[in-house]
Every structure is written in structure tokens, then in C-alpha cells.
Amino acid sequence: MTKAALFDLDGVIADTAVYHLKAWRKLIQDHFNQDVPDGLLAQTKGLSRVDSLNAILSGLDLTVSEEEFARLADEKNDLYRQSLADLNEQGILPGISELLAELRKKDFHLALASASHNAPLILEKLGLSDSFEAIADPRKVGRGKPAPDIFLAAAKGVNCKPENCIAFEDSSAGITAIKAAGSYAVGIGKQAELNADICFPDTTSVDLDEILSNWQENK
């Protein structure tokens, strides 16, 4: 049986979410002279850049033209990419390198299922480009999370049926997407917020043997 492990990026492989939040705050401050509440930023977790910008503008009751929206989205991406300049292998979250190696030893194919258009750049800076056989391109999927499209694309990228995949996520939108794809959802964070099939509080506590045992019991 071909089996695969699908990974979100922000908050699972690296803590790049902090760079996203800083970029959003600066963008909105520079253009609208407003602060973005923490609760509103939390709603963007796991969402694409376009969906995140929509959520922020709506939450702040701001209206912009289509042209300005596109410019804002591009500027946010520029701010984010600038902030990644110093990212390196030290940015990999604790335990993730070991987890990837352990999965490969158990003959899992590895694929990335991230909403980030910058995923290839981030993996390169982290020194993990060779660890993943496929990177799903969010620009080529119809819908973002919580729709399952990105996880279905990642599974297809390694020629694996979604039901034979385990997937790692730290956002509720991502967990919903994994379940909609028919894969087994491993959450990183608080189970009360994620409602994953199995959940660990952080990357250091992830137990692959426990995951695989639970996965087989619930198939």
C-alpha cells in the first residue's frame, strides 16, 4: 500500500506565522493607520493570502477596489518575503527533522500542502527542499482551506489515495480540509480548537508510533 504524510508549513514545520502577522500589521498600519486585533489575525490562520486579506478588511470594516486589493496582497507578500531573509535551518520547529526522517524510514512519501505561495522558498531556506517529493501549488487548486483541494493535490502529487494519507496541521481550517479529503488528521495545538483525529500540544510531543496505531484502529 502506498502511504503518504502531508504537511502544512506555517506552525507545523516552521514558525513562519509570526512573519505573516508582522506583515499584516505593518500593511494595515501603513495604509489605514489602524491596528489589527489579535483575535482578527487569529482568524487568518491556515488561510490563503487572499482569504486572509478579505477577513482582515471585513473585520475592520474597510472597503477597497479590486485594483487596490491586488496591490495590498502583493505588498503584503513583499513584506513577508523580506522578513524571511534571515530564515535558516534553525527555524525548523523542534522534533520536525526527526519526524520527517522517521516517516521516510517507514516508507511514507512526503508532500507539502500549504496555502503559502512562498513554500518552495521557505523549504529551501530551511534546508528541507529534498525532504519532500511534492509541493502542492495553491495557485493551481480551486479552493483554499477549509476546502480539501490542497490536500487532495498533495496526495495526488505522490500518487497516493487520500485515505492512505496522514496529514499534519495546526489550524482548524486545515483540520477541516484534511477530514474533507478523507485523510487522517494530526493536529498540533489545542484539541478543543482543532478537533483533530489525534492531537499533540506542540511538535516536540508528536509520537509517530501513537499516530500510526490510532490511525490503524480507526480505519
Rounded to the nearest 5 percent, the helix, strand and coil shares of the chain are 55, 10, 35
- Give the rounded percent of residues in the chain with a pLDDT score beyond 90: 84
Q: Sort residue 170 into left (φ over 0), alpha (ψ -120 to 50) or beta.
A: alpha
Based on its alpha-carbon atoms, the radius of gyration of the chain, rounded to whole angstroms, reads 17
Instruction: Confirm if 80 and 177 have CB atoms less than 8 A apart.
Output: no
Identify the band that residue 112 occupies on the pLDDT scale cut at 50, 70 and 90: very high
- Rounded CA gap, 81 and 144, in Å? 21
- 10 classed as catalytic: yes
Q: State residue 155's pLDDT score.
A: 98
- Rounded CA gap, 155 and 65, in Å? 37
Q: State residue 45's pLDDT score.
A: 80
Q: State residue 83's pLDDT score.
A: 86
- The 10 Å Cβ neighbour count of residue 108 is 22
- 74 classed as catalytic: no
Identify the band that residue 1 occupies on the pLDDT scale cut at 50, 70 and 90: confident
Mean pLDDT of 179-189: 98
Identify the band that residue 15 occupies on the pLDDT scale cut at 50, 70 and 90: confident
Return the DSSP state at 90: G
**Type of residue at 212:** L
* Sole residue written with cell 489589527: 36
Q: End-to-end alpha-carbon separation of the chain, Å?
A: 14
Higher-confidence residue: 103 or 219?
A: 103
Instruction: Confirm if 101 and 71 have CB atoms less than 8 A apart.
Output: no
